[in-house]
Structure 1
Amino acid sequence: MKARGRPLPPQRPATPPTLRQRLTAANRRCTPYLYISPFFLLFLITGLFPLLFTGWVAVHRWDLIMGQGEFVGLDNFRRVLGSPDFWKSTRNTFSIFLLSSVPQVILAITIAALLNFNLRGRTFWRMGVLLPYVVAPVAVVLIFSNLFADRFGVINSLLDLVGIAPVRWHSEVLPSHLAIATMVNFRWTGYNTLIFLAAMQAIPRDLYEAAAVDGANRVRQFFSVTVPMLRPTIIFVVITSTIGGLQIFDEPRLYDQYGRGGADGQWRTLTIHLYELGWTQSDFGRASAVAVLLFLLIVAIGLVNFTITRRIATAGGHR
């Protein structure tokens, strides 16, 4: 090829990169992975390995003292699914989860909307809603166990003042679930309130000003502006509440002095059932099978939430 009738000068061969240049390029490629590697190493040790090992134990006859026994395949799962205690625990888990998570989200959004106003001492009120979260679960359960005591309880005393018969909070199924759900709501409502409050403060004020110009009052602005803008945060809170609600253990475990979920399993959850199989009956095979089934249940509900999330996000994008 010629340029203006003159041949181009011969090109010099590319010089190979020096060792320092190679090390610099490798450093740029590997440094991001080194930064995130501690998380994956910890997850491998404390998350993935226990999960895989639980699946291994679930297909063996495993004793607390003797250790690994013979391979039994899916026999542990058949025994668990054929046990009435498992289905009763599943019912109790979903009942307590629904009684706690649904009111919790509604209360958290409402309190966050009130705290989003220009209140006097708003920092004090915002930090105050977080105090129940930092209280030890044991202290919370001890207080609420006395409040919901079957005899001489504060709640029954208040009900007696208005002519309502005392409720057997530790004997009947639904009252015990309501009492435990109240403890969960007391501890976690403030935590979720701060999450919603942070999301509300990120909403542009121009939207509220435009709604006010159109004649919308505060209630109308809340349902027409605030709630739609909080859609991703609501989905996040619902998913985390679902995972935590299905793994509830502390509150039902400490609700009475025996820690077995009631005399007839009135409030025995799946985690308590798992604990009883593993440490009381020393049957780690069935306990691991319950753990695997609980994991699959959480994954299934997570997939449902993910599907709903995508549909909501798609519907919001077409508006």
Structure 2
Amino acid sequence: MTNQAEITVDTPDDERSKEVRSGRLKRFLENGTPYWFLSPYIIIFGTFGIFPVFFMIFLSFHTWNPVAGLGSMRFVGLENYALSLTDPRLWKTMWNTIAIAVMSGLAQHLVALPMAYLLISLGARARHWLSTAYFLPYVTSTVAVSMIFYIMYSPQSGIINQGLNLLANGTLTSWAFGWIGQFQPIGWLQENSLIRYSISFVVFWKYVGFNIVIYAAGLSTINQELYEAAKIDGASHMQRFRYVALPLLKPFIFFAVTLTIIGNMQLFDEPYVLTRGLQQATSNGMTISNYLYRIGWEWLDMGSAAAVSWILFVVIALFTGLYFWLFGRQGLGGNE
């Protein structure tokens, strides 16, 4: 029995279906080309951006010791949130965070606004050099800045206490600063009454230049004819700053203050380094981010740490939302 080769002949319907499939594939490849190029970013962002957010939500309803592996994860519902909200240490660190945020943030903007106005009043060359000098602390490593200030704050050998000693014992200055000697050595980072101010000053010093640059950029967009008209009307420098510059700077002030609120409420690096990894932290020197770190990486309670992180998220959202509600319409250029 002989095998006969089967010969298949494509019908017009088969050819048409092949053309349709080929056209669909071509359109898919053409339309998907941008997404193929974006796929590395999408994969990385999904892995390190989106997934951690949902995992943190999931984790906040569980207890988990990361050293024991995923098998130690146990569902506890809202217990982590209940324990965190009734923990007095959480509210203590929350108050520390708000106090440091207000002291450092308010000082930043009260200094940055007039300094930016002064820079704009100077010549272009001086303005560029000074803007760069003021901006340098912002681009300097936070750890390096905090370590330098840690040395400066040293009770025995720090330059701050040494300078105060010179003023207290100097022949020409002892009459005015002699009283400082009875408080030496001053524990800038060891005393509860001083540590908030010490941390706030470091935060202020590092970020005031950033706000100066923002306000200087805003002032440079103001038409100089407005200043000239005010000057002709007899307005002084202070009056031109108050009645011309400040109203037109509202969008820039709104932007800068919003960044300050969000950044200062998440403050971690400065207090962590200044208190040497929280080993020397006093009760007034720990922010909520530092407390969150201690829960997660020292006490190995990742579930409670996740719950605290979401509580912090809600607090930041409330403060930012309140600020938007009070000043957002004016700050974004709307009618008052």
The normalised TM-score by structure 2 is 0.79
> 2:9 corresponds to which residue?
none
Q: Are 1:101 and 2:105 counterparts?
A: yes
Q: Are 1:138 and 2:143 counterparts?
A: yes
Q: How far apart are residue 35 of structure 1 and its match?
A: 9.8
- Whole-angstrom distance in 1 between the partners of 2:282 and 2:126: 48
Kindly provide the amino acid, as one letter, of the partner of residue 131 in structure 2: R
- Whole-angstrom distance in 1 between the partners of 2:204 and 2:144: 15
> 2:271 corresponds to which residue?
252
1:159-213 Cα offsets, whole Å, 9 max, x none, are 4421322333122234111111111111111111111111100011121111111
Kindly provide the amino acid, as one letter, of the partner of residue 307 in structure 1: W
- Whole-angstrom distance in 1 between the partners of 2:134 and 2:142: 16
SS at match of 2:64: strand
> 1:5 corresponds to which residue?
none
C-alpha contact (below 8 Å) 1:261/1:269 kept by paired residues: no
> 2:131 corresponds to which residue?
126
- Whole-angstrom distance in 2 between the partners of 1:73 and 1:276: 22
**RMSD over aligned Cα, in angstroms?**
2.7
Kindly provide the amino acid, as one letter, of the partner of residue 229 in structure 2: A
- Whole-angstrom distance in 2 between the partners of 1:180 and 1:232: 29
Structure 1 unaligned spans of 5+: 1-18
The normalised TM-score by structure 1 is 0.83
Kindly provide the amino acid, as one letter, of the partner of residue 130 in structure 2: W
- Whole-angstrom distance in 1 between the partners of 2:54 and 2:247: 40
- Whole-angstrom distance in 1 between the partners of 2:37 and 2:67: 41
Over 3 Å counting, the alpha-carbon distance change for 1:314 and 1:292 in structure 2 is closer
> 2:171 corresponds to which residue?
none
- Whole-angstrom distance in 2 between the partners of 1:209 and 1:240: 33
- Whole-angstrom distance in 2 between the partners of 1:128 and 1:303: 34
- Whole-angstrom distance in 2 between the partners of 1:37 and 1:238: 35
More helix by share: 2
Q: Is the radius of gyration larger for structure 1 or structure 2?
A: 2
- Whole-angstrom distance in 2 between the partners of 1:137 and 1:121: 27
Structure 2 unaligned spans of 5+: 1-22, 169-176
Kindly provide the amino acid, as one letter, of the partner of residue 200 in structure 2: A
Q: How do 1:52-91 residues align onto structure 2 when only pairs under 5 Å count?
A: 52-66=54-68, 67=70, 68-91=72-95
C-alpha contact (below 8 Å) 1:235/1:309 kept by paired residues: yes
Q: Are 1:301 and 2:319 counterparts?
A: yes
User: How high is the sequence identity, in percent, across the aligned residues?
Assistant: 33
